[in-house]
Structure 1
Amino acid sequence: MKTRKRTLYIVIYLVVFEVFIGVLEYFIGVRSFIPSVREAVAGQNPFGFNGLLYYSRVSGLSSNSSVFAIKIMVSLMMLQFLGPRNKKEGFFLYGFLGVGLLLTFTRSVYVALAAFFLMINYRRIIRAVIRFLRGKAKWIYFAVISIFISGIIFLISKVDVLLQQMNRGMKKVDLSSRDSVFQRFSEFFWDNPWLGNGSYKLWIEINGKVFHAHNVFMQIMTTNGVLIGSMYFLMVLININRYNINYIIPILIISLFQYAVFWGISFVDLFFFSFLFMTQNPNFCKTNDSLKEA
């Protein structure tokens, strides 16, 4: 078990190294140091176009910024599972990975991580509210609540700026072409509901560019059809339990907007199936205690 823990920490630090590369890319003003990736993700807008974070996001050593962001997301989840070995390491890892999330600016990852940290902390939140209502250490909770409310008020005052950033400067809700992609893949599915694309990964050309579905559920069903595709989801559903649900649900959330899992053998696939199957043993899920044993 100690070997497993060391290996997982090595993976986390490799992602931290990629974040360091991403920081360098950001300050130099390039999307990627890899020429082929830089050309593929450059699009028609220069780095930092109109001061929007979307056009300043970097790819690290990944094929694009979304893949990079999902790596960071999984690393944060794994770090939460393992627990930092000391406070300094925890401060460094959470802080540096947080910087990486900002520089990759992937909205679906933000939503999935928000759900993750809410799921793993909801008991603490409830206990804090109960303690506050019972009158214990009210001044501490009052200070925390005051800071939280002040933060909300500040965000509300900057809502126009936030919406501009989240929508890439567009006036309507921006889906990064997903509306067109979802429509085309939906049409293909209804034309081929039972066998899909014969279990060959489906790609569709739209306006001269080739797209996957940007949605795991739609990608599986269009690729495999209902007969085989439903077995994928059944396998996931019957293996979700109270020990791994906090780690599986966020990945399923991001799967609504990204082709994150069931890619083949990807970074996210490895951790997704590790959580799905290795955590069937309750003792394995006692996080630090189980990993410190052996």
Structure 2
Amino acid sequence: MKSLISTPKMIGNMQKSPQENLIKYYGLPFSLWLTTVYGCPQWGFIFVAIISLLSPTSTPKESNFYRKELFWLAAITVACSLNFTIGLYFGSPQSINRSPYFIGLIVTFLIASKLEKKQLIAISWLTAIECLILFIEFILKINTVFTYHPEYKSGIDYSYIYWGRPFGLSDGSNSFAIKLVIALGIVNYLMETQWKKHLLQGIIISALIINFSRSAFIAIIFHYIFLYNFHHNNKNLYRKLSAAIIAIISTIIITNPFNIASKIAFHLNHGKKTIDYSYRDEIWKSCINFITNNPILGNNSSRFYIWNADYKQWEHAHNSFLHLITSNGILITGLISFWILKHVSKHNFGLLLPLIIFSMGQYGIFWSISIQDVLFINLLIFSKNYRTQK
């Protein structure tokens, strides 16, 4: 005879309404993805934070764990605010952003703590839908459907792929590239239904080719090397396949049939005869010089920018880790690095790797509050629970 006494689990299931499920599985991931759409202001994260507070969670949260994490994040925030205050009164930060770095870190953590496996997969599906928009832009030879975008182009000549890369619904091609990199990692590690995994892989990889981000290409290469050689169950088979693919590609490039190697190099170097770093070599040199002269406090926790006279615009470091230390100095960077490294494990390294590699050639993570920072913290801290989540 079944007991008539309801258990807490039964009560929880009885109390869930369709509206709660809608908010939980669609509201939060959709609102988070919406912040990446061109025209959405930064303060849109206020609504994301509100929705995250309304979102129920099935993952058990330990109060001691939360207190420890919030202590670390509060320490980082206070350190950045103190460094910023010192800069206001005693320094002269080289910055056009007059707000403390990482001021939104705690909000980012709280949003990340509400995301679960199903919601990450939902973000991947939304990214795949955006890929379809990118395909349409490519066919129509426009770089964005937002005709009022200041960089809107039509009638694009794809002889130079780099200069006509579609944006999808994002504000730029690199903003879309990082979503593609993250989404592909989530699909390969967390999606269990094989046909859905293969479908999304095909869509996202096709979009990556059209998006043509060199940083994304490198990140995805490392992602698949790690996935098939260290994570996949049949490691030996995939190691042999990887070696065979590398050998075939190398042979094609060396023998150079139909001038393939030079054509690939032409597009990767943006139509130039020599390797094109897109001013990264000069920007990184400026960052290193600044760190050498300001090692302790950096740019007083104001985001560090370099003036590009050729483009007549401010440029970030095009490297998240270099940007981090340049903006904050070695002390705060050491504090942040220790907090990150204590969470890295064999369970999350594969998920984090493509995002880390991408951020070495672009300003990917460490914006303080952004979709990539939210997902980075989620994968860093909470992905250990995803093995048990359906």
Q: Identify the residue that residue 236 of structure 2 maps to in structure 1.
A: 127
SS of corresponding position for 2:389: helix
- Greater share of helix residues, 1 or 2? 1
Q: Distance in 2 between matches of 1:117 and 1:152?
A: 17
Verify the 8 A CA contact 1:198 1:223 in the aligned structure 2.
yes
1:183 aligned partner, one-letter code: K
1:108-147 correspondence runs (5 A): 108-123=215-230, 126-128=235-237
1:1-294 correspondence runs (5 A): 4-35=116-147, 37=149, 39-40=150-151, 47-48=156-157, 51-87=159-195, 89-123=196-230, 126-128=235-237, 149-156=247-254, 157=256, 158-207=260-309, 208-279=312-383, 281=384, 284-286=385-387, 290-292=388-390
Q: TM-score normalised to the size of structure 1?
A: 0.82
Verify the 8 A CA contact 1:216 1:260 in the aligned structure 2.
yes
RMSD over aligned CA atoms reads 2.7
Q: Distance in 2 between matches of 1:236 and 1:200?
A: 21
Q: Which gives a bigger RCO, structure 1 or 2 (Cα 8 Å, sep 6+)?
A: 2
Verify the 8 A CA contact 2:301 2:328 in the aligned structure 1.
yes
CA deviation vs aligned residue, 1:143-173 (integer Å, no higher than 9, x gap): x987775554334422111111111121211
Residue 182 of structure 1 deviates from its aligned partner by 1.1
1:24 aligned partner, one-letter code: I
Q: Distance in 2 between matches of 1:218 and 1:41?
A: 31
Q: Quickly say closer, same or farther: Cα 1:36–1:187, change in 2 above 3 A.
A: farther
Q: Which moved further from structure 2: 232-241 or 1-10? A: 1-10
Residue 285 of structure 1 deviates from its aligned partner by 4.9
Q: Quickly say closer, same or farther: Cα 1:233–1:41, change in 2 above 3 A.
A: farther
Verify the 8 A CA contact 2:181 2:354 in the aligned structure 1.
no
Q: TM-score normalised to the size of structure 2?
A: 0.63
SS of corresponding position for 2:118: helix
Q: Distance in 1 between matches of 2:211 and 2:351?
A: 21
Q: Quickly say closer, same or farther: Cα 1:84–1:28, change in 2 above 3 A.
A: farther
Q: Identify the residue that residue 46 of structure 2 maps to in structure 1.
A: none
Residues matched between the structures, number: 270
Q: Distance in 2 between matches of 1:147 and 1:253?
A: 22
Q: Distance in 2 between matches of 1:220 and 1:4?
A: 28
Residue 84 of structure 1 deviates from its aligned partner by 4.3
State which structure, 1 or 2, has the greater radius of gyration over its C-alpha atoms: 2
Q: Quickly say closer, same or farther: Cα 1:6–1:153, change in 2 above 3 A.
A: same
Q: Which moved further from structure 2: 267-276 or 155-164? A: 155-164
Q: Quickly say closer, same or farther: Cα 1:28–1:186, change in 2 above 3 A.
A: same
Q: Distance in 1 between matches of 2:380 and 2:374?
A: 10
1:242 aligned partner, one-letter code: K
Q: Distance in 2 between matches of 1:65 and 1:252?
A: 18
Q: Distance in 2 between matches of 1:236 and 1:4?
A: 20
Consecutive unaligned residues of structure 2, counting only runs of 5 or more, are 1-57, 60-114
Verify the 8 A CA contact 1:41 1:64 in the aligned structure 2.
no
CA deviation vs aligned residue, 1:95-114 (integer Å, no higher than 9, x gap): 11111101110011111111
Residue 41 of structure 1 deviates from its aligned partner by 7.2
Q: Distance in 1 between matches of 2:318 and 2:248?
A: 36
SS of corresponding position for 1:210: strand
Residue 129 of structure 1 deviates from its aligned partner by 7.6
Verify the 8 A CA contact 2:266 2:272 in the aligned structure 1.
yes
Q: Quickly say closer, same or farther: Cα 1:211–1:152, change in 2 above 3 A.
A: same
1:100 aligned partner, one-letter code: A
2:182 aligned partner, one-letter code: V
Verify the 8 A CA contact 1:255 1:261 in the aligned structure 2.
yes
SS of corresponding position for 1:30: coil
Consecutive unaligned residues of structure 1, counting only runs of 5 or more, are 133-140
Verify the 8 A CA contact 1:243 1:285 in the aligned structure 2.
no
